[in-house]
Amino acid sequence: MSRALALLAAAAAAVLALPASRANFTSSSTSGAAVTMEATARYLQLLSDAADTTALTGYADKRNSAPAVRAATGADAGVVVELGGYKNTNPTPIPRVLSVQARDPLAPGVAAITVSATLLPDPGGKQPLTGYSFTTLAGTGAAPSVTLAPGEKRWLNLTASMKGAIFPGNNLLYHPVVRITVRHAGYSGTFLSYDVPVSIWDGNGSGP
């Protein structure tokens, strides 16, 4: 055997003689979306008029729709909001877009949840949504967040404006998002949320 082959064989034997490592380098990932929606739905419901089985009325209509249709459809992770036409509008209140309701019962050990929202702009960077609030079912007590006991329910209200040169009124449909976040005592994470897709029309009529 040549000297080179002998050295190679010795090196291989030395490696095989080393203690086996207990480290596990296998990695895996799961879909965060599925986990997020399942976990969030355990705490909070989002309801449109069609999904609301109670006697609650007054859900917002899609602006300029004829015949009138509701702005929000679906429930929970399936809620979609079509606000309609807001061409050349100053800040305009849109009350009772959808309702939020704490699950009853909540998860074991959770007495109440706190619900807040964040307004995310259209993918192009423009933001036609200028504000939001939660109110009681009577429309009072507007606040940026609300604490709900099991079964308690509130309205989510929005404000929109498409005034000025940033919105030229060229029959464009914008797609901002309302992120509704749930927190409860003892939990500091951020994954308990729903992203509600919104469309709003910068043109005449109600838009698509």
Strands (E), the chain: 44-47, 72-73, 80-85, 92-102, 113-120, 129-135, 145-148, 153-160, 172-174, 177-183, 193-202
* Each residue's pLDDT tens digit, 85-104: 999 999 999 999 999 999 99
For range 149-169, the mean pLDDT: 97
Tell me, what's the pLDDT at 26? 28
For domain 31-202, the question of CATH label 2.60.40.10 is answered with: yes
Work out the mean pLDDT of the chain and round it to a whole number. Answer: 86
Q: Which residue has the higher pLDDT, 118 or 31?
A: 118
Q: Which residue has the higher pLDDT, 106 or 19?
A: 106
Tell me, what's the pLDDT at 37? 61
